[in-house]
Every structure is written in C-alpha cells, then in structure tokens.
Structure 1
Amino acid sequence: MSDIDTIDRKILNALQRDAALSLDALGAQIGLSRNACWRRIRVMEDAGIITKRIALVDPIKVGLGLTVFMQIKTNAHAPDWLRKFSSATKAMPEIQGVYRMSGDLDYLIRARVADMAGYDKLYQRLIALVPLSDVSASFVMEEIKESTELPL
C-alpha cells in the first residue's frame, strides 16, 4: 500500500463506488486530466492493485434471494483433499466465497441460492464430490450491510 498516494486512493475510492465512471467524470471528481487518470489506473492494473472491473447484480432480482453460510469441518487435511475441495468449490457458481478458518471451524463457505431446495442441491453436490466430517448452515434472514468497497 506504500506505493499508493492520496490521488490513487481517491481514484480507487471513486472506482469502487462506480467503475463505469468515464475518465472525464473521474478526472473532474479527482481534479486530474483524463489522461493522468488513465495512466494512474493502468499502473494500478499492471501492479495488480485493480484486479478487475465488474457490474454488481441484485441477487433478488435474478432469483438468488437466499444467502447461506456453510460451516465445514473435515478430518482430512492432506494436500490432495485440499485440491479436490478447492476445485469442487471453485466449480460451483453458487459459491461466492470459501475461507480457511482458524479455531474450531475448518472452512466457511458463502453461497447464494434461490431457496432451501437450491441449498439442498448445492449441499448434495458438494458432499458427493468431497468427503466432509460435518456441514452446518446458517441462513441470512436480513442483510443489514453488504459492500465490496475496501476502506482506503
């Protein structure tokens, strides 16, 4: 983060809020020319600071209204098991995040599905692909805050 100056932070904050900003609008917001903004963005892309630009989709409007957190415990910790688990979870588009955890829990999975039947299908596919010792799930009843913005 030491290579990022105040102007880069302003650019990153603006793009996190709206990646579709034109270079002219971004420049006016930041106080730079469009070419200076473009150069700084390219440098941050080349450095891997900006990894991609995406559109955020309202999950409810596309029929994926249920968020589930799956708590995974396993007795297997061998590299082959981890590769299999990683491949399986990466191949399931409903799964949005997979995290190796400290403490009593081995892995936490965040997924979006249409409903309970959708969760059950996801669960059945996962356990058919990878041996797990325990899977429990918590379902989101109300989404109070969801953000992709990093606090820069």
Structure 2
Amino acid sequence: MKSLSLTILVILLTFTLCAGAYGLELAVIVNKENPIDDLSSEELIRIFKQEKQYWDQRKKIYFLMQETGSVEKEIVLRKIYKMDPEALKKFWLAKMFRGEISSFPKTLRSNGAVKRFISRSPMSIGYIDAAETDDSVKTLSIDGKRPGEPGYSLADR
C-alpha cells in the first residue's frame, strides 16, 4: 500500500511540475458581436485600468476580473498592472475616491463564469485561460498576436 501511495505521489508531482514548466496563456475575450478583433498592448492596459471606459461606438466597456488567488489574475497582476493584490485594491480605491470609476470591476470565480457572462453581455471584456476558449466568445489578438503564437504578451513563461 505504501509503494502504491508513493507511486501515485510521484506521478502527481511529475504532472504538476510539467504543467508548470509550460506556463499558462491568457486569452482576452469579448462577446462575439463586438466588432473589435485586435487591441494594442497599450489599449489593453488602458481598458484594464479603466482609463478607457468606452468602446469606439461610445458604448460602456464592462470589464470583468477573476478572483484574487487565481493563476489567471496573478498573470494579469504581473503583466498588466505590475502590482500585487493589495496595491491593486488601493489603485481601485483611489480611482473611486477621485470619481474616475463608480465601483470596482466585477469579479467572477472561474474561467467558465467569465466566459458565460461575456457570451451574454455584448459590451463586456475579460480574460480566461486560453485553453478554455471556444466559439461562445471571441478571442482578441494583442498586438496582432494570438494565444499560442511566439511573442504573445499574455503568456506566463
């Protein structure tokens, strides 16, 4: 019984280490009806920091985040905000205090929840694990690159 448990432990650790070595890629997703196909890194940062709050059609952007502690949010904190969770909280509070936003961005618990919400909300944008994308939403290119392509900026490598 001990050898079986040890074997299972070794297998699980091997899979965990291998998965971590490849890293995760995020997909920035919007509703399929959204006419946007590509964003520059600068536009993406402005949207995620809510410095840009309207699509070109003058419709309000509905930005979604994932919960603190998710791998996806950790990547966004490093790559987009360059902050830790506490600094991000202070960032949002300062924007609210200055009247730049009326509330924190909506936070959802999982890739599936973000995807479902965006598939039903035409002006929304969010991020999920690229492996979770499907035809219910549109995956945007960032700087002309899509998840999986060399130089894609939201790859955790």
What TM-score, normalized by structure 2, do the two folds share?
0.24
Structure with higher RCO (Cα < 8 A, 6+ apart)? 2
What TM-score, normalized by structure 1, do the two folds share?
0.25
Between structure 1 and structure 2, the one with the greater Rg is 1
